[in-house]
Amino acid sequence: MPLHPEAQRIIDRTGVQDQGEAPQLDAAAMREGFRLAWSMPDDLQPVGGVVDTVFPGPAGEVPVRVYTPEGDGPFPALVWFHGGGWTIGSLDENEVACRAVCAGAGAVVVSVDYRLAPENPFPAAADDSYAALLWVHENAEALSVDASRLAVAGESAGGNLAAVVALKARDLNGPRLSLQVLVSPILGHPDDGRASYRDCSEGYFLSKEGMDWFFTQYPRNASDLDDPYLLPLRSKDLSGLAPALVVEAEYDVLRDEGVEYAEALKAAGNQVELAVFDGMIHGFFGLLTLELAEVSGVTAHVVEALRSAYVKGAQ
């Protein structure tokens, strides 16, 4: 179907068709531009509590924002990773989505401000993200969390990190996950030849040029691209992983790698749901939540998947 009218309006209103389409800028300049363009909504959805804190990570303190729902715990938990090509982004950009999931799923949401590239290249973001899962598991009682009902999720680079954390949890005998929610995840490389990189290469908010630039920032060298903790589609073994919900937008360069990963997970014997949202663009869940999440129905879809997974996890 054609672009949803709201998605088209976003592109027309911003006057910027492609996120990350300025490779002549350095990462610090891009972060500052993103910060100046972002404004926190005035009427944020209420939740039981929101606390900014830190935990001891692999290379120093890692900031997190903890959203707690109304009521008495212990609650299930979701560890959330923001997007931004491992290079830009912050806790603030997903404030609306995190609150919606916290209230809708009745879950503690822990949003992780992992280290960014290029100052902190691979595997820094992946290491911080897995450390966040371990911290939530180990501090479940203090966080009012039921440690038997944990999930991970993220959008774009955050979806990549959620998939990587699920791989690490299996490989390192880490906490059992009820669900991994991968929204428009980065799972392969821009030059892998997938059709969505050709069909949506420009004009749909995230461009191939932008993705090429992000890949100059996070990997240390070409050999990193063979590491499944950087690109999960490079994994030779996808068996024994947490159940997955893979969410894709129709008009997104990353669409086909998400579809391919969902198929690979299913072929490896995992429980998988693939949801492709027609007419949507990159960022429609976590970054452009106010404009696109409700009209697309994606928030309700993710919340229902989490609620169902948490029920199964309690059994």
- The residues assigned a catalytic role are 156, 252, 282
Side-chain half-sphere of 254: how many Cα atoms within 13 Å? 35
How far is 29 from 81, CA to CA, in rounded Å? 22
* Cross-sheet strand order for the sheet of 75-81: 49-57, 60-68, 108-112, 75-81, 145-155, 179-183, 244-251, 272-281
Task: Identify the three-state secondary structure at position 110.
Answer: strand
Find out whether the peptide bond into 74 is cis, omega within 30 degrees of 0: yes
Q: Which ranges of 38-174 would DSSP assign to H, the alpha helix?
A: 95-105, 124-138, 157-171
According to DSSP, the residues that pair with 179 across neighbouring strands are 151
Query: Is the Cα torsion angle 175, 310, 115, 204 positive or negative in sign?
Result: positive
Whether 204 contacts 18, CB under 8 Å: yes
What is the DSSP secondary structure assignment for residue 18, as one 8-state letter? E
User: Within 13 Å and on the Cβ side, how many CA atoms surround 145?
Assistant: 26
